[in-house]
Structure 1
Amino acid sequence: MPEPVLPPTARLLLARTARAQRDGRAPSLVAGVVRAGGLAWSVGRGDVPEPHTDVQYRLGSISKTVTAVAVMRLRDEGRLGLDDPLDRHLPGTPLGDRTVGQALSHLAGASAESPGGWWERTPGGSLADLGLRADDVVLGAARRFHYSNLGFGLLGELVARLRGASWEDVVTSEVLRPLGMARTTPRPAGPAAAGTAVHPWADVVLPEPEHHAGVMAAAGQLWASLEDLARFAAFLLGDTGDVLDPGTLEEMTVPAGVDSSAPGWSAYGLGLQVVRVDGRTLVGHGGSMPGFLAGVFVDREEQIGAVSLANTTSGLDAVVFGLLTDLRTAEPRVVEPWRPSPSPVPLDVLGLWFWGPSPYVLRAVEGALLHLGPLPGRTGRASRFSACADGTWIGLDGYYAGETLRIAEDHLDLGTFVFTRTPYDPEAPVPGGVDEQGWR
């Protein structure tokens, strides 16, 4: 069970949520903060039946992350590769030459919406019913980030065909049920909030329609309770169970496409939004459908998350970011104590190295990793490295992500860059050689 928040923190979180519901004029709003596996605090404001944690709301695009998890499970099983063209698994679309990974990261150049009527407010059909044409490809592959509901509709169809079952059945059996999200369903299963639009100039509401989106369901169909959304936040914090390898989840959080239209720093990984808020990197997803707004974001470093669900079409600012700030400020995480651990390489390998005349430090860091970066106070490229079975090291992040580090007695070889113990050591294999007259 998660440790509950302290009473002063609860008051702070309640005040923020109450103001968001009032100022955003949401008929109802449920919100909570997450740590250690589940809800540490939650509240319902407005017209919310009790218990507020069990009322379903539509998740909207948070469904995309669930779809992405199903795709990554197929990848981990070897059923597909992220660089596979869509045509290999889903033939016959105008996006056949775009890759699975590009579709997951909104880099495939697919149109933002599916053709025909607005899919979020009209019943949907099969992939064949969409009648996709060449003009549903609006950008070149990997040219720029372009958010695409259509792209995730295609990914849902891909999952269904490879599994031989409907998208709904696959995500229920492979993701939702194993995570204990029994109150997450493709259609509302009461108690559920009614989707509403709020008039911009008067305090009156209008019911929004609800239907099955057909092939587009993978982009925004799911409904969930706050309790279930909190469980999904715990999943994003690393409590993946048997659903996904933790390393695969980490891979999903790495930014790929950058959303240059967003205020501040915002990017997209593999089915996950990656944003920079208050100096913190948060991962998760927002959701909106006619009548509903939702959000789930986590701070993986601080091991906290926030979730919110509301039944309004627009007008409500994202409350989850403020809740995370309040929780982090009021109850900062107490980290585990430092303890000695063995170095993954001999100690004489560590320490000062030079790339040309620039000093760098090779350090052993937590998790049996190496870190190569500039001296403190200097700028330069930095990356962590993980050991490989053949004695080499592979870059995990930064400039050298995916690059191979080889450690020799007198130099480091890293993607054609050679680091030496002294600046341009003439005894080491420096590319281009070293002037025979040396430093002068």
Structure 2
Amino acid sequence: MTTPHEELLPQTRRALLHRIAVGQVEGRAPSMVAAVVRGGRTVWTGARSSVDGQVPDENVQFRIGSISKTFTAVLVLRLRDEGLLDLSDPVEKHLPGTGLAEVTVAQLLSHTGGLAAESPAPWWERTPGSLRPELSDVLGEQPFRHPVGRRFHYSNPGFSVLGALVEKLRGAPWEQVLRAEVLEPLGLNRTSCLPQAPHAGGWAVHPWADVLLPEPLEDLGVMASAGQLWSTIADLARFAVFLTQGDERVLSAGTVREMRVPATPVEAADVVDGASYGLGLQLQHHDGRLLVGHSGSLPGFLANLSISVDDDVAAVVLTNCTSGPVISLIGADLVRIVAEAEPRIPEPWRPLREVDPAVLELAGQWYWGTNGFALRVTADGTISLGPFSGGGRRSSFRSNGDGTWTGLEGYYAGELLTAVRRSDGSLSHLDLGSFVFTRQPYDENAPVPGGVDPEGWQGVG
């Protein structure tokens, strides 16, 4: 019997190795390492190197750049889950004097606070953080580039503010909090703020010649929470499992699911590219599948973490060059190769152990006006409502235990569905965000808004 934990097939493993080999050659990368995760564990690793006998393994550190932002987001959501802040809180409530009076915590997490993409000169990634000792040095005299909340605009300073927020509410340095609350519980022992041997050196590859230039390795100081971390493919593979399943020692499955929900206004370019951003996570559609994760870059290094939750496949790719490989595409291709060659084996269908008769009574056909919908009671304890066929509004709903249900996705996310009963207890209709769903189209026995013509349905003569 096939199980999710079986090793990958030989032809799949060869296809994965071929993809990173091509990526290393075409991108002219000094070295490249990669891992694939399936079923909650690493099922493949691969590496290529320009130096014979010096191929990095799964424990060699590379700088991961902006994947650090996802770690920072995890810390912020821990604060939220503990009740120490609300995502709708203005930043100034916790960090007075920043000059970001209108910006909320959620807007910083989703890059919608209108802040500049970078800190004031000099280029922060290639200069020591000691040049920017205070948060005011990172934000500058004119921190805003756009109206608050109006559009997605990626902001490194925004995540430095979130790092400062963590430090303020925890009363300890960001790095110390990260180690105690995330790295140690998840067993990410090879993830650190400063490089720990063995680690790769960062290189710039000349655009017109096959020669190298070493890149400086700077401590980013206040900007650390935006891009400081070093890690390995082994550690990031474990982190991918956490971002998929959650871990009650760090964040619940519900909270990591919340991180993966789009939280940014959609712009025209995003529609074309299929890209969006959640809470500390990038979201992008590739080959018809949604990938969540993050990319990272700092001088000398590129990194990518891509997760397809639906396929239960994740990929990590790390390399030590400033530019060259299109690393996000390599990560997406590694996911695609496994998902297509060895599609996920679904869990067996199983019926409900027990069902409330009042819930079972909801099952079947319903009509919103003349649009037909099917309501199903599913084994996971939710109900689903969607059109009989084709596209249209559909959602799953979670029971609130009082005869009402809350929508979980799509148009009806967060909306309340109520099973309305008559005085004798019989089922009358469904109220979904003021929409009335009836057992028959425009049922005269239900309170259809605007009423139903007493002459009923009729032909044209």
- Shared fold, TM over 0.5: yes
Q: d(CA) in 1 for partners of 2:99 and 2:456? A: 60
Q: CA deviation at 1:425?
A: 1.5
- Residues 135-150 of structure 1: matches in 2 within 5 Å? 135-150=142-157
Q: Which structure 2 residues correspond to residues 207-226 of structure 1 after superposition, within 5 A?
A: 207-226=214-233
CA displacement at 1:314 relative to structure 2? 0.8
* C-alpha distance after superposition, 1:141-195 (max 9, x if no partner): 2211111111111011101110001111111111111110000000111111111
Paired residues in the alignment total 439
Identify the residue that residue 292 of structure 1 maps to in structure 2. Answer: 301
How far did 1:430 drift?
A: 1.5
Within a 5 Å distance, the mapping from 1:49-128 to structure 2 comes to: 49=54, 52-124=57-129, 125-128=132-135
Q: What is aligned with 2:374? A: 361
Moved more, 121-130 or 245-254: 121-130
The alpha-carbon deviation at position 438 of structure 1 amounts to 2.6
The Cα of 1:432 is off from its aligned counterpart by 2.2
Calculate the TM-score normalised by the size of structure 1.
0.96
Correspondence for 2:44: 41
Aligned to 1:302: 311
> Once the 2 structures are TM-superposed, how far is the Cα of residue 2 of structure 1 from its aligned partner?
5.3
Give secondary structure in 2 for the equivalent of 1:72: helix
Q: Which residue of 400, 406, 409 maps to 1:394?
A: 406
What secondary structure, in the 3-state scheme, does the structure 1 residue paired with 2:48 have? strand
Task: Give the structure 2 partner of residue 416 of structure 1.
Answer: 434
**What's the CA shift string for 1:326-374, capped at 9, x where partnerless?**
1112222111111111445533321111111111111112411111111
Q: Return closer, same or farther for 1:55/1:213 CA change in 2, 3 Å cut-off.
A: same
Deviation at 1:241, TM superposition (A): 4.6
- Contact 1:95/1:110 (<8 A) preserved: no
Alignment of 1:242-391 (within 5 A): 242-257=249-264, 258=266, 260-261=268-269, 264-318=273-327, 319-341=330-352, 342-343=354-355, 345-377=358-390, 379-391=391-403
Residue 424 of structure 2 corresponds to which residue in structure 1? Answer: none
SS of aligned partner of 2:125: coil
Q: Secondary structure, in 3 states, of the residue corresponding to 1:332? A: coil
1:124-273 residue pairs with structure 2 within 5 A?
A: 124=129, 125-128=132-135, 130=137, 132-133=139-140, 135-257=142-264, 258=266, 260-261=268-269, 264-273=273-282
Work out the CA distance in 1 between the residues paired with 2:347 and 2:433: 35
Greater shift, 256-265 or 157-166, is seen at: 256-265
1:3-42 equivalences in 2 (<5 Å): 3-42=6-45
**How far 1:6 moved relative to its partner?**
2.0
* Contact 1:34–1:40 (Cα < 8 Å) also in 2: yes
Runs (4+) of structure 1 exceeding 6 A deviation are none
CA RMSD of aligned residues (A): 1.7
In structure 2, relative to structure 1, the CA distance for the partners of 1:239 and 1:380 (3 Å cut) is closer
* 1:304 Cα offset (Å): 1.1
CA distance in 2, matches of 1:56, 1:132: 30
Q: How far apart are residue 419 of structure 1 and its match?
A: 0.6
Deviations 1:15-56 (CA, angstroms, capped at 9, x unpaired): 111111011000010011112333211111114846611110
Change (3 A) 1:254 1:402: same
Identity %: 53
Please give the secondary structure, in 2, of the residue aligned with 1:140: coil
Query: 1:322, CA displacement in angstroms?
Result: 0.8
The residue aligned with 1:426 is 444
Cα distance, 1:134–1:382 mapped onto 2, change above 3 Å: farther
SS in 2 for 1:206: strand
Q: Which amino acid aligns with 2:185?
A: P
1:94 Cα deviation after fit:
2.5
